[in-house]
Amino acid sequence: MCRPFSFETFQKILENDDVFPIDETLFYFDDEPEKSREHYLGCIRDYDKPYWVGYCDIPNGCEFYTASDLLNAKIFDGYSIYERWEHLVFENIGGIWINDWLAYYGDKICFD
């Protein structure tokens, strides 16, 4: 299972998309049926609501003003990413396989 950092750290990664590539992040929840195991999220600063999610409870996905709004939206079987964090598994972040992403960016994760 690959959840290499805390929820709080992931929120800061999302909020610092100028440092960390996060658009087209692919993840799933390990407690959901195999056929449902594909969700995407990202951030595109050119839009009014830059944070987005695909393959969730909302047909065609949805958009948010802030990373916090995205992470706390109850759009995954009526629960938020925050509420389901212990079941979240990253496949890639920013289109980069998780182990490669950690090798490239892991040493930059310091938000103290």
Q: Is the entire prediction scored with pTM above 0.85? A: yes
Length of the chain: 112
What are the residue boundaries of the structural domains of the chain, listed by start? 7-96
Q: How many other CB atoms are found less than 10 A from the CB of residue 47? A: 10
Per-residue pLDDT of the chain (112 residues; tens, 9 = 90+): 567 899 999 999 999 999 999 999 999 999 998 888 899 999 999 999 999 999 999 999 999 999 999 999 999 999 999 999 999 999 999 999 999 999 999 888 876 5
Q: Which residue has the tokens 């299972």?
A: 1
pLDDT of residue 3: 72
Long-range contacts, stretch 69-75, CB < 8 angstroms, 24+ apart: 70/14, 70/41, 71/7, 71/10, 71/11, 71/14
